[in-house]
Structure 1
Amino acid sequence: MFRALSSRNYRLFFIGQGISLIGTWMQQIALSWLVYRLTDSVFLLGAVTFSSQIPSFILGPFAGVLADKFNRHKVLIVTQTLSMVQASTLAVLVLTETIEIWHVLSLSAFLGVINGFDISTRQAFVVEMVEKRENLSNAIALNSSMFNMARLVGPTIAGLLIAAVGEGMCILINAVSYIAVIGSLLLMRLKPFERVQQERKVWQSLQEGFQYAFGFPPIRALIMIVALLSLFGMPFTVLLPVFARDILHGGANTLGYLMGASGLGALSGALFLAQRKSVLGLGRIIIFTMSLFGLALIAFSFSEVLTLSLLLMLFTGFGMIVTMASCNTLLQTLVEDDKRGRVMSFYSTAFMGMAPVGSMLAGSVAEQVGVGYTLAGCGFLCCLSIIPFAVNLPKLRRMVQPIYERMGIVPEIATGLQAASGLTTAQEEQ
């Protein structure tokens, strides 16, 4: 289950990123609670998420070109340093009680620009940290485990801290936590970077990557699954403060428990993927977990009992992360190395870029019809969106088989991909 940790560089990254992600989740919960406390507006909750994630939609493909052209290690050091500056600025404003909603929107947009470059580069950098190619899928699953362990721990701590000392301390802890990931990057021992001389301009490289990704149905199908899940499913995190305060009649600690329960379910899903030895059957698993996610959202939208809501959050977390991480695993194993950055940028764009659109739509609709019916509609659309993938799965499976034979993937994985339906169709955090 932990075989990818045998790589020193990946082990350093795993520890540093794990510490930093706890801080990231603490800031996210603190910021959501702060905005809702200051404004009582579901729309502005969606607007903050929109401003923090829409830059990924715009910049993601160009970031992929950057990830294929420049030293990914150095790019990550720069993006993590800038993220620390953003968190520090936000912490000062909150702790001095001078924070206003326009500050939150502006700093969220700044972080979105950073993440636009960071996420694509980080996804493509995984392959450089893992020496053995057969451990790549395990590394991706462990990334998801790390991400969701942080999502379990971070919000729970944040809920308690917000109730005790306010939102500012959570954001300050996040700023300090970046020291861990920056330190881990600086301690890595990597092969000297060799820049590949390319005659193509940025636009030509982007066009080539787009044609490669969307001209091949299996890759296109995987990216579409991620985009639809992000568009219809991710808004549930934006609406959780409303459920915590107005429907379940709790406080910041209730919001922390809900996010923690979702994180626990997601961690279980990530560990489930980590113990798998091949990608055999991932396509069928994606169909099941996407449907599970949608149904759990529908049930959660009608729950007014905290215990039941926490139980349903376990299922939403499990369904969401297994779907996302499976798509990531399939894409990472399928793509050619010289196009990896660009393809993973499309994955990141689908994941991070569609979420803000969904958040704005959900926030607007919720103000008109209520958060319950809005979330139920999101769950229903998630269930509907997996149907085309399920219908086309056998055809996608046949199309991917010769690709893996030609690439010479290790036998265990190759067998899994060919027999497995899944590798072709859909899939993390990072």
Structure 2
Amino acid sequence: MNTFFSKTAYHCFKYQEYRFFWIAALFSNIGMWSLVYGRLWLMRTLTDSEIMLGLIITANLAPILLFSLFGGIISDKHNRLQIVRSTRLLFALVTLITGILIQQKWIEPWHVILLSIFTGTFLAIDIPARSAMIAKLIPKKDLPGGIVLYSIIFGGSAVLGPLIFAPIVSIMGLEYLFYMIALSYIFTVITLYKMDSSLHVTNQIKDISYIQSLYEGFRYLGSNKNILFIIILGIVVGLFSSSFEILLPVFTDEIFYGDSSTYSRLLLFLGLGGLFGTFALSLSGAYFNKLIFLIFSTILFGFLLIIFSNTNDLSFAILIIPFIGMASVWKGTINTTMVQTLVEENFRGRTMSMQQWAWGSAALGGIFTGFLAQNYGAQKTLILSGILIIFSAIFIGSLLLKFLKNK
């Protein structure tokens, strides 16, 4: 048994700093999951506009597109642990303010958009630093397993989130959901203060200007085409994949004629699928070709969106949605694992900030999705998104395979 687990991702738990990091990330991701879907449901209670739902995602993720490179430079110049401690404390403050606005009945759609912009700006600084920390916590040979194990948190949060979403919202009110999120971030900060800050002092010369540091990052990426193509695939797919989470409240309300409990149940099964997917990856070790699996899981995700978009039956939707969660986790986790494994330490923060454009590109996708859904309907919009994801995976994936074959 010990020999079996030594070949899996769970081997990484023997490192104390990684354990603290993992526990902090668990608290944090429960908060982030609840924050994303809580804001979408909050906006749905304030307005019936699909465009406003799309703007929530755009407001939250546009700053990542605009400022994540700056965040990557900061990550490569300053102590990454101290950066993450600060941003997580700011997340707690923003969510606390949201809860107060709801409780006092002052909340308006523009408040939600503005607070989403603040969160997105903090994320632009937080994500590169947090992503780059993992490589300092475990040996390089264990890095793929550490990333997969870290991804279990996303699946676990997506299961725990729906279990608490509906009871808190229906019994206590939506404002208490945001108070709970703030508390989860406070627990995150407390756990982060148990970690050794000296491990996260970077080696880059701080006298180099931000412009020079940015130029060096782009030059490094340009000379490493394999990393570049993987990042481009994530960005293009991310542009269209946001349509699912944006439109899920619309499907819940207008197609399945449900309420917050229905929405929570769909999210629960989505999370269960993601959790199963990460467990499968954590046990697989190095027994599969990561690039082929990345392309396959991306195509599968697009195909499943097309199937989901064509159903009006809640029972069938609950049956198919776990597979959407599984495919989504697979494509995201493998993309991050490949980039983290290939990148050099001195460029890790800047490279991971560019890799996070895969998430930030959903900001543009939010505008695209909201406009199309408002004018042509949620189902047609999701079908188009699925088709574009499949085409992008085949086209960019084939370019990447051709490059690696000729290398």
TM-score by length of 1: 0.89
The alignment status of 1:134 with 2:141, answered yes or no, reads yes
Q: Which residue matches 1:55?
A: 63
Q: Which residue matches 2:259?
A: 251
Q: Which residue matches 2:4?
A: none
The alignment status of 1:174 with 2:163, answered yes or no, reads no
- Give the distance between the partners of 1:390 and 1:77, measured in 2 at CA: 37
Q: CA RMSD in A?
A: 1.6
Q: Which residue matches 2:195?
A: 188
Which of 135, 149, 157 matches 2:164?
A: 157
Secondary structure of the structure 2 residue equivalent to 1:234: helix
Which of 321, 329, 338 matches 1:330?
A: 338
Q: How does 1:94-113 map to 2 (within 5 A)?
A: 94-113=102-121
- Give the distance between the partners of 1:207 and 1:382, measured in 2 at CA: 31
Cα shift at 1:399: 6.2
Please say if residues 204 and 346 of structure 2, whose CA atoms lie closer than 8 Å, have aligned partners that are also in contact. no
Paired-residue identity, %? 30
Please say if residues 132 and 348 of structure 2, whose CA atoms lie closer than 8 Å, have aligned partners that are also in contact. yes
Secondary structure of the structure 2 residue equivalent to 1:275: helix
CA 1:197 to 1:394, structure 2 compared with 1: closer, same or farther past 3 Å? closer
Please say if residues 77 and 202 of structure 2, whose CA atoms lie closer than 8 Å, have aligned partners that are also in contact. no
Unpaired segments of 5 or more residues in structure 2? 1-7
The letter for the 2-side match of 1:38 is: L
Q: Which residue matches 2:128?
A: 120
> Residues 114-163 of structure 1: CA distance to partner in whole angstroms, max 9, x if unpaired?
00100111001111122x22111111111111111101210332123222
Cα shift at 1:314: 1.1
Which of 71, 90, 100 matches 2:98?
A: 90
Please say if residues 230 and 400 of structure 2, whose CA atoms lie closer than 8 Å, have aligned partners that are also in contact. no
Which of 14, 34, 44 matches 2:52?
A: 44
Secondary structure of the structure 1 residue equivalent to 2:105: coil
The alignment status of 1:218 with 2:226, answered yes or no, reads yes
Which of 369, 375, 388 matches 1:368?
A: 375
Cα shift at 1:394: 3.7
Please say if residues 141 and 273 of structure 1, whose CA atoms lie closer than 8 Å, have aligned partners that are also in contact. yes
CA 1:356 to 1:63, structure 2 compared with 1: closer, same or farther past 3 Å? same
Q: Which residue matches 1:386?
A: 393
Secondary structure of the structure 1 residue equivalent to 2:270: helix
- Give the distance between the partners of 2:48 and 2:202, measured in 1 at CA: 52
Which of 336, 343, 350 matches 2:351?
A: 343
Equivalent pairs counted in the alignment come to 398
Q: Which residue matches 1:148?
A: 155
> Residues 69-114 of structure 1: CA distance to partner in whole angstroms, max 9, x if unpaired?
1000111111011111111111111122111111111111111110
TM-score by length of 2: 0.94
> Residues 315-362 of structure 1: CA distance to partner in whole angstroms, max 9, x if unpaired?
1111111111101111111011110111000011232x2011101110
Q: Which residue matches 1:8?
A: 16
The letter for the 1-side match of 2:220 is: Y
Please say if residues 23 and 170 of structure 1, whose CA atoms lie closer than 8 Å, have aligned partners that are also in contact. no
Cα shift at 1:393: 4.2
- Give the distance between the partners of 1:110 and 1:183, measured in 2 at CA: 22
The alignment status of 1:281 with 2:299, answered yes or no, reads no
- Give the distance between the partners of 1:355 and 1:186, measured in 2 at CA: 32
